Amino acid sequence: MTPFNSLRTTLGLGTLFALPMAQADYLWIERSAGQPAKAYLSEFQPGEHLDLGKLREPAVRLAEGKGEAPRVEANGYLISAPVAGDLRLQAKLPEGGKLVIYEAKEGRGETKAVNDLELVPTTPGGNTFKLHWKGSVVSASQVNVYTSEQWNRTLKPAEDGSVTLDPVFPARYVLEVTAEVNGAATVEGKRYESVVHVATLSFDVPR
């Protein structure tokens, strides 16, 4: 397992490290049976949904590449095409000289990552997760948990880098981790030297 601060040496992809909880906004997905999935840019609970007009290149992420571009509806992304298994969405936010890449996932049935930065359950439907960065397992310094019942926590990793959540009551849960990569990315022809990834994992625990 690779800690954040040694990724430059082992992967050659730049140093990756966790940011404090000051990164308040994140993209998260909700999906209900029989309804189109929706994604919002905001704090999960409480908070108003933010304007998506500044986001660039929104797309559903599939194992084989990009899927449909979602349409904007009432400050949310509407994902009408059905996706079997876990649902992933990516969008990018240029902020001056910095680029924020939002990588959201709904569902915890799959144990293989698709997004660059993704929390992955160690078993299908499980409550223990490992953080994957471009196919390699890394140690999350902390994972923030938000719920529809306004019960929030910060999870710290075990010795193997995994984090475990005990969902003790029915609710929608959103797990969030933020990390910065000292490596360049290009969006719409502009190169960004500072890239921040904000990954979320959302799922429901039914009554």
CB 4 within 8 A of CB 141: yes
Q: How confident is the model at residue 6 (pLDDT cuts 50, 70, 90)?
A: very low
List Cβ<8 Å contacts ≥24 apart for 188-194.
188/56, 188/94, 190/94, 192/94, 192/97, 192/98, 192/99, 193/97, 194/97, 194/98, 194/99
Q: Over 80: is that where the pLDDT of 17 sits?
A: no
Strand-strand pairing, 87-95 and 56-62: antiparallel
**pLDDT over 60 (residue 14):** no
**Could you tell me the residue ranges of all domains in the chain?**
2-205
**pLDDT band at residue 65, thresholds of 50, 70 and 90?**
confident
Joined together, the tokens standing for residue 59 give 């797309």
Give the pLDDT band (50/70/90) at residue 96.
confident
113-167 pLDDT tens trace? 999 999 999 999 999 999 999 989 998 889 999 999 888 999 999 999 999 999 8
Q: Per the confidence metrics, is the pTM higher than 0.75?
A: yes
pLDDT band with cut points at 50, 70 and 90 for residue 22: very low
